[in-house]
Amino acid sequence: MELISRQSAPAYAAGGTTVTGYAAPSRGSTQVSLWRIELEPGSSSPLHEIDVEEVFLGLEGRAVAIVDGGESTVTAGDW
């Protein structure tokens, strides 16, 4: 198992969204992806399809997640 610190995790920023990659196929994970996504109010993350499980944990604020065509509101503490 590899320990990934916040300082060593790659971060990408565009259009009010910052994504930090912790676990992903590109970093050696075969079963799950874990990302930290910081969104400015009114911004969004591009719609995308995945081939491994992704884990999101709401830390603060509110966001709408679209999964299998359905919308769900995510707030602090929601997985």
Please give the structure tokens belonging to residue 49: 């399809």
Per residue in 19-77, pLDDT (tens digit) is 888 887 777 888 888 888 888 888 887 777 777 777 778 889 998 888 888 999 999 99
- DSSP state at residue 47: P
Residue extents of the structural domains in the chain: 11-75
pTM of the model: 0.68
Q: Is 4 helix (H, G, I), strand (E, B) or coil?
A: coil
Distance (Å, rounded) from C-alpha 59 to C-alpha 75? 7
**Hey, CA dihedral for 12, 47, 39, 37, is it positive or negative?**
negative
